[in-house]
Amino acid sequence: MKFITKNLVYFAVASTALTLAFRFVLSAMLTNEYYTSVDIPAILYGLSMFATGWYYGFKDGRELPVYDVGFRFHLVTFIAFHVVSSTWFLLGLNAETEKWNSIVLGVLIWGLLIAVHFVIYLILRKRSIDGLDKAELFD
């Protein structure tokens, strides 16, 4: 199975750009003490990442005949978010109220979830081609 596709690369670029924009806005809001409004960019970021993943995932699904439950896109999102966020902190661009522990905790929790997603991906990958059960293909 082809793991890296054109649409996945486009999604990686888009998710990196969205994450950079999110980090910038979040740090700026926290620096200016707009604590009650930080939900807005977080929700917009989540919705825009979902829409971007849906768009490129749908396009990818038409070109790639294997049903993969979105694992590749989930993995790219995980990597893009944590690489951008870690770099943001290492460069000292974070607000004073943002703590490194939040990134570490996010990696641990999200890492556990992505491990579960990987197991589901492996189970379903062996059983389906484009959402069809292999046993039903050659009746």
Residue 61 binned pLDDT confidence (cut-offs 50, 70, 90): confident
Structure token digits, residue 34:
């707009």
pLDDT digits (tens, 9 = 90+) for 82-131: 999 999 999 999 999 999 999 999 999 999 999 999 998 888 776 665 55
pTM above 0.75, yes or no: yes
Coil, strand or helix at 96: coil
Coil, strand or helix at 79: helix
**E strands present in the chain:** 128-129, 132-133
Q: Which residue has the higher pLDDT, 45 or 123?
A: 45
Least confident of 47-61, 65-79, 120-134: 120-134
Cα angle 125, 114, 5; round to 5: 55
Spell out the domain ranges in the chain.
6-130
Task: Write the CB contacts of 67 (distance below 8 Å, at least 6 apart in sequence).
Answer: 61, 124, 125, 128, 129, 130, 131
pLDDT of residue 88: 95
